[in-house]
Amino acid sequence: MKRAMAFVLSVLGLYPVFAARATEALPFKLNSRSLQTEIQKFRGEGRERLAYEILLDNFHAKPLKFTSLQIRLMKEGREVFSEEVRGPVLNERFSSVQESYHKPQDPVLPPGGAGVFFLWVDLPEKLGKVDAVRTGFRVEEQGRPDTAMTLEGPAVSVSSQAPREIAPPLRGERWWTPNGPGNGSIHRRILIPLSGQLYAPERYAVDWIKLGEDGKNYAGDPKSNASYHAYGQEILSVAAGRVVAVKDGIPENVPNAKEMAVAIDLETIGGNHVIVDIGGGLYAFYAHLQPGKIRVKPGDSVAAGQVLGLLGNSGNSTEPHLHFHLIDRPDPLRGQGQPFVLSRFARWRGGVKLDAAEDPIGIAAKGKEVVQGQSYMNLELVDFE
């Protein structure tokens, strides 16, 4: 599997020129900005969390190296929590736009280079209200520690509004995600430049696959979609709303084949899919459905729990799974991904056993706990009612 099933389109060659907002410390001429002006806390695995990105441009004549990063949570102008990031953890959170977003990298920007810090903050328990997050950088000319200085990045507001609570989009036991909310998830680490704008549509996206009692994702012929436990499962609307887009008629892939059934572009990447306006400026996106099995059409009103279609393996997908995310526009890619929490699910305690290719081969988890109002996180195994 190698986590390759995710609904992802890498088009880094189209990375846009950022609007220059130079820092006050002009000797290094470093521009920084956030992709979001406001972010929301969400709860997952029992803790509140924040996810945001800092985009960087080096207008300096020499390569710049980041040696540490400080995250400060603010309340009414007062610092209430700080976290310093350095060493291997700093490398894990940085990517230049010319490299894979998923490999740890030295946080160095060449002259004219651009990069990204993907930041994920686990808030301390009982911290209380936070209204802003500030990010500072310790940066120097590469190879010259004597030039080190601290630069202040952009401040990002933290909304007091809770993330949207939704119903599960699936039923049944042993739903596992190889790609869910988490800073190391393939979804989290993808930025998509389109039409002169930069988006992180999959910031909180989830891929769901279903495991059997033996902890494997299929039984039988691995080249047959019907062998996969997830295949043909009913996809449910997570909230009441109105269908705004439907794509159907895309043939399904052979699982883990070298080539997809169709060329992957902006029209086919999500395969057969449905987009539902669930109100409040949020749109639910369901991807990779079976062709000819979608049960709604644009303009239909749907209720929470209503069947939208059947889970399949169409579009940019290596095996049958449901890709799901919330976004702030009725477009699967041209928008910013938004956090969500599920009304109720049962979380398995422990994890899933993986082989060298990161395919599930067993269940290590023992026991379950009922969870309400939390996000389903990366590599979690849960049951839905």
Q: Is 1 contained in some domain?
A: no
Q: CB-based contacts of 75: which residues, under 8 Å, 6+ apart?
A: 128, 129, 130, 131, 132
Q: Are residues 232 and 366 in the same domain?
A: yes
For the chain, the average pLDDT equals 91
Angle subtended at Cα 233 by Cα 380 and Cα 349, rounded to the nearest 5 degrees: 20
Distance CA 303, CA 146 (A): 62
Q: Look at residue 96 and tell me whether its pLDDT is greater than 70.
A: yes
CATH number for position 24: 2.60.40.1470
Residue identified by tokens 């095996």 is 319
Q: Are residues 38 and 170 in the same domain?
A: no
For residue 226, report the phi and psi dihedrals to the nearest 5 degrees.
-65, -15
Q: Is 4 contained in some domain?
A: no
Q: Are residues 152 and 174 in the same domain?
A: no
Overall number of domains in the chain: 2
Q: Are residues 361 and 222 in the same domain?
A: yes
Q: Are residues 71 and 200 in the same domain?
A: no
Q: Are residues 130 and 196 in the same domain?
A: no
pLDDT tens sequence across 239-295: 999 999 999 999 999 999 999 999 999 999 999 999 999 999 999 999 999 999 999
Strand partners, 358: none
- Is-contact 229 210, C-beta < 8 A? yes
State the pLDDT at residue 43: 93
CATH number for position 276: 2.70.70.10
Which range of residues forms the domain containing residue 329? 164-384
State the pLDDT at residue 1: 57
What number of other Cβ atoms are within 10 A of residue 73's Cβ? 21
**Which pLDDT band, with edges at 50, 70 and 90, does 233 fall under?**
very high
Q: Within 13 Å, how many C-alpha atoms sit on residue 115's CB side? A: 27
